[in-house]
Amino acid sequence: MTTEPTPTHLADLTAVQLTAGYAAGTFSPVEATRAVLERAEAAQARTNCFTRIAADEALAEAGKSAERWRSGTPAGLVDGVPVTVKDLLLTRGAPTLRGSRTVREEGATWDEDAPSVARLRESGAVFVGKTTTPEFGWKGVTDSPRHGVTGNPYDPERTAGGSSGGSAAAVALGAGPLSLGTDGGGSVRIPASFCGIFALKATYGRVPHYPASPFGTLAHVGPMTRDAADAALMMEVICGPDWRDWSQLGPVAGSFRAALDEPLAGLRVAFSPSLGWDVPVAGDVAAAVRRAVGALAELGAVVEEIDPGIADPVAAFHTLWFSGAARVVQHLGDAERELLDPGLREICEQGARYSALDYLAAVDTRMALGQAMGRFHSAYDLLVTPTEPITAFEAGAEVPKGSGHARWTGWTPFTYPFNMTQQPAATVPCGVDGAGLPIGVQLVGARHADALVLRAAHALYEAGAARIPAPPALAGPAAATSA
C-alpha cells in the first residue's frame, strides 16, 4: 500500500492486510474494529444481515488484541481480525437462534463455541456479531420468520442468497473481512456468488462441525471472505482438531497459504457450462464464466470443454434434505409447528413420509455419484461450472417469479451435487450482469484437494479475473425488512 489507510478505509482491508498493518504498527485492532462496526451498522440498515451486533464485546476483544500486538505476542494468525458468524453456529456469550421463533432465547445458557468458532477465538479473532440465516438453514435464500428478509448488497430489493446470506452481505459491505458460514446444498457458494465474494465448501470433515447437523454429512462449515488468500488464512485456523466431531479428517498436510503461489501450468481443467443437463444459463453468466475459464488457460492450465457425465441427483438430495428437516422439527408440537416458515413446514411433512428404504436408496445414489466423480477426477484436476445459472432475484421469494420451480433446488442445480459427493468447491466472482449484479464461477476439486481449489482461485484473483465493482455506497433507507 502506498498510503496509510485512515480508519474509515480499514473496513475495506482483507485479513491479510489487517494483520500486516498490525505487525507494522500502522494501525491497531481497535481502529479496525471501530471501522468495521460502523460498516456493520450501515450494512444492517441496508440489508438486514445481522441478528446481533456485539459492539462492546468486540471493542473489548480488540483492545486485548492491540496489547498483544504491542508486546509482539499475537495469539494466532487472525489476532485482531473482525469476524462474523452465521447464526447456526454456537458462539459463547451470544444466542444462536437459527432464524426460528421456536428457539427460546430466554433461560438458555450460551456458553459453548462451535469448533470453528473456538479455533478463531483461540487465534485472537474479534467477533463482531451473528449473521442471518433462513430458519434452520433450510433454503437457498435468506429470510426467516424470526429475523425477516436479508437483501443483496448490490440491490437490497434482490436476495442475498442463502442460507449464509447474512454472512455474504456482511463481508461484501465491509462488516468484517472473515465470516463463518455453513453449506448443506450450496449455502456458502450461493450467497457468495450473488453478493460478489469468495467462499469455499471444503472437503467434508476438513473443518470440524459440532453439534452434528441434522442434515448429516451433507452439511459443511466454510470460510466466506474477500478473496482466496483470506480463505487460505482462515482455513489454517478453523481446520484445527476438535474431539466433538467424530467424523473430522486427520491433520492437514502442508499449508494452505504456501500452496497459493504454486503455478497452474499443466493443471487439467474440465469446463462444463451446464454439467451436461438441460439447464438454461443466463447469457451474461455464461459469458463471464467462459472468460474466467479463458483466464485459467492463459495461466497455463490445460482446459477441455467436457461434461462429467453425471445425472442430476435432485430427487435423492431431496430425500436426504427433507428427511433432515423433518428431524430438526421432530420435537415440536402442533402449536410450535405453526410458527415455522410455511415452506419449511411443507418439506418437513414430506420428509416425514420417507421410509428407511427411501433414505437408503438416496444413499445409494449418492455413493454412485461420488464414485463417478472420483473416476472423473482421475483425468481432470478441476471441474469448472457456473456457480449459479442466474444472478440474484427478488428478495423474500424462495424461487424466481415465473420460473416454474417448486423449491430452491430448481434454480441452483450446480451446487448441491457436490455436497452429495463431499468434494471441495469454491465460488469466485468473475463479472457482473447488465444490472450490475455479481456472477460467480465454481471451481470443484477431488476430495481432499482443498489446497488446489484455493490455488486456482487465488490465481484468478492475482490475474485480475476475479475483481468486480464494489457494492454501491452505504447510504439511503433500507430496502430489506425485519420481522
Q: What is the DSSP letter of 233?
A: H
Note the helical H segments in 378-446. 417-420
**Range with the poorest average pLDDT among 287-301, 332-346, 371-385, 461-475:** 461-475
Can you tell me the distance from the alpha carbon of 283 to that of 408, in angstroms, rounded to the nearest whole number? 21
Span 325-378, pLDDT tens digits: 999 999 999 999 999 999 999 999 999 999 999 999 999 999 999 999 999 999
Closest CA to 140 of 165, 122, 162, 118: 162
Which of the following is catalytic: 116, 144, 163, 179? 163
Cα 186 to chain centroid, rounded: 8
Q: Could you confirm whether 355 is annotated as catalytic?
A: no
385-399: pLDDT as tens digits: 999 999 999 999 999
Query: CA-to-CA distance for 102 and 138, rounded, in angstroms?
Result: 15
Which cell numbers in the block locate residue 369? 455419484
Task: Report how far Cα 32 is from the mean position of its chain's Cα atoms.
Answer: 23
Query: Is residue 213 annotated as part of the catalytic site, yes or no?
Result: no
Instruction: Find the catalytic residue in 86, 130, 139, 201.
Output: 86
pLDDT for 473 equals 79
CB-side neighbour CA atoms (13 Å) of 322: 24
| Whole-prediction pTM | 0.96
Give the domains, in start order, of the chain with CATH numbers. 9-244+252-462 (3.90.1300.10)
Tell me what pLDDT residue 477 has: 35
Q: Which of 116, 164, 179, 187 is catalytic?
A: 187
Does residue 217 have a pLDDT over 70?
Answer: yes
The Cα-based distances of 48 to 74, 150, 165 in angstroms read 33, 5, 10
Sign of the C-alpha dihedral computed for residues 3, 21, 241 and 59 taken in this order: negative
Q: How far is CA 410 from the centre of its chain?
A: 19
Q: What is the mean pLDDT of the chain?
A: 95
Residue 86 known to be catalytic: yes
